[in-house]
Amino acid sequence: MPDIGSIITFGIASIALLLIPGPAVIYILNRSVSDGREVGLAAVAGLELGNFMHVIAASAGLSAVLATSATAFNTVKWLGAGYLVFVGVRTLLTRPAAVSGDSTSVSLKRSFTQGVVVNTLNPKVALFFLSYLPQFIDADKGAAWSQALVLGTTFVIIGCCTDGMYALTASALRTKLLTGRTLPIVQRYVAGTVFVALGVMAATTSPASSK
């Protein structure tokens, strides 16, 4: 198990990385503004579960496979990209239903599931753990897999806090948006464009990229 100093150092670095907006943050903002606090938090839960999948993979050494096998990397990349583009196009072609302050266009389950997919099928996340975690693994501190598990779990816990902050802040803006005509545009065109953009970002990821 890594020592407290390593965990604290890793935690501070993780906070800095997690606060930088990326695909996960974009997804959280989209869901929170479009559908409110509960849906936004469901997205956060899904994203963190997706992150934890990569923690498990990194602990088992599977991230190295994505980095060294072009076939494995491209399979993950195109699965993720294809799904995101599909959701985006479907959103762009669907007229959003009229909403009130208590209604949402996306269910909690769907928001959670999409969040899991966004991060589980994001090869950048796997490559992040591959390139970042090893810097904090000390062979003298025990099994590498247990250290990776502890550090990765620390990352996920911090991610819950930072991503949750984004969700709560963004959802607070929804009430104002409901008073005008902005929300339907966000739900359809902004949301659809965001998903397509995330798909393009996933498709252009290369093994040399970082999160």
Q: Give me the residue spans of the domains in the chain.
A: 4-72+100-181
Q: If you write DSSP's letter for every residue of 109-167 in order, what string do you get?
A: HHHHHHHHHHHHT-HHHHHHHHHHGGGG--GGGS-HHHHHHHHHHHHHHHHHHHHHHHH
The overall pTM is greater than 0.75: no
User: Which residue has 């509960």 as its token pair?
Assistant: 38
Count of CB atoms situated within 10 Å of the CB of 26: 17
pLDDT at 208: 46
Average pLDDT over residues 53-67: 75
DSSP-derived letter for residue 61 is: T
Q: What is the pLDDT of residue 190?
A: 73
Backbone torsion region of residue 142, taken as left when φ is above 0, otherwise alpha when ψ lies between -120 and 50, otherwise beta = left
pLDDT (0 to 100) of residue 47: 95
What phi and psi values does residue 2 have, to the nearest 5 degrees? -65, 150
DSSP state letter for 105: S
